[in-house]
Structure 1
């Protein structure tokens, strides 16, 4: 006889959310020999969570386990997986007539986490109408996404890719999934030209064309960390400047060495971003 522990798959990791303090554990055992195993036979099963004391139980076959068939066993003793952390499980089985014990144990990692998603630009991004449609992108995530669902406020515009072209000003939403986990974020795309200047958005980018240098002056900003990015129209970064814990910016970006053409300057913090068209 030869029985094998086939699920969970050895040395794999499961990323799960919404776990509780009363989770059931299941394994799948397969008869990989050419002969059936009779009903009434007993297979001993164990699991160990992290370095805790192993839990021992037994599976008594209620019917023959034919060659190539599998059976699921759910442990009677449940586990507490409510903490957001990583859990290491070891499962193993023993069946007296089993002549091959190399397939009788597995290691499986469970990561209990909260799925998050963040649209680049913060809660609001103000752009000139010339940038419409404005491409919305997502910040990097430590966990992969299985699916994307973008929509505008009325749900009349939707998308299913990692990026979304917002054709007009307004609210946009994205919902992502990873397995059974979901996360949602939103952003308001506003008209930079149509918004009256207010003190915390007192940003000046001049001159245009900027044949020698580009002056960037901002005052009365909310205290925080800011980044200035000057890019080409195809997204290639020319200059990146970072500022920590400031409320005003006054800087000069040399432009004499740049080829003539159109560039984009973006000023952003954790919540907002402002984008300007620059002519060289």
Structure 2
């Protein structure tokens, strides 16, 4: 962002739940652990994997950020129901864009965006926070059926003149794209109150009386008031032109081709922006994660609202012997996640696996097709451990995860899976107490399966 502002402006064998089906469900599913992981990886605080190699994305300056762009492409590739565009411009600029086509009104377009380039190393607030927010909203909504089209856009070369967003906006104006609103996020993780402590939690909405930007600002405030967020809005008019939303205000050289657009971020209007702006001191540790979490929840709620979320339930309930799609009056196809292929004949609402594995269901309701997340099913032929037979602690965990069984000399198999069902760690033990070293695995949600020859149990684990 440019420094410009005027002074006058139970998964555990009872219910396995995937992503939400109404706006409140979407809000509840915004995952601060995932957001934290992306910011840490994208700002170089920890290593990640890009193009199959372990790397550190320490710097994202315009001439040195292809690695960062590749990371974004790979994150979008993990999602369903989107089309990815790696848009080149100028000599080496790269906008990374993912489009989720609306099922009812595909030509009605909303853009949710942020810039990913920087002026220095790290730059967690400016603008890994906005980048992570775009990826998180895309993760949540790409599993859902939407009436309108959502474009998840990550701009390059913002820091040297808004070049990436200007290229896209001018092209959209020339093509006559029906963009109904552009929500730009730039620096949204800093609040001057002590992190995690009660405070004003103020944020800015920058807007101007251009196209429908005033109405767009009002729509965001309506969402803010319709649900419970620990946030207080500051309206800024005339809003700054120093970030990517203004490319859409002035698209087509400021003619009638201009688009509705606003900027959402921490409160520069009240001088409550990060003091580490445009320096290498802009680090993850300076962020107020509770404030940031509220900000991303608001963005997710607004996007789901304007996208026209269709109420299809893509969650799955699980018993010891069956999986059941919770959406009724639909058609179903169960999927083997290990091969990503349909299971022949598995087209009923309830499916009884014949072998342990990872399964999902594709649900068709009217014009909407949604797929559940993959569900780990590992209880076939086994009783469930009682609560006093297995203890797993601490949870959340940072370094060492303890698994304690009620008697020794049992042959225990311990497996740790990520949310996609990928096996991360495995261990065999005959001890009462077994300790797994999880220090090096990324932050996030995992599932721990503990099984003996007669019983099995699966436990949700939070890695901090």
When Rg is computed on C-alpha atoms for both structures, the one with the higher figure is 1
**Structure 1 length-normalised TM:** 0.32
Q: Specify which structure has the higher proportion of strand.
A: 1
Q: Specify which structure has the higher proportion of helix.
A: 2
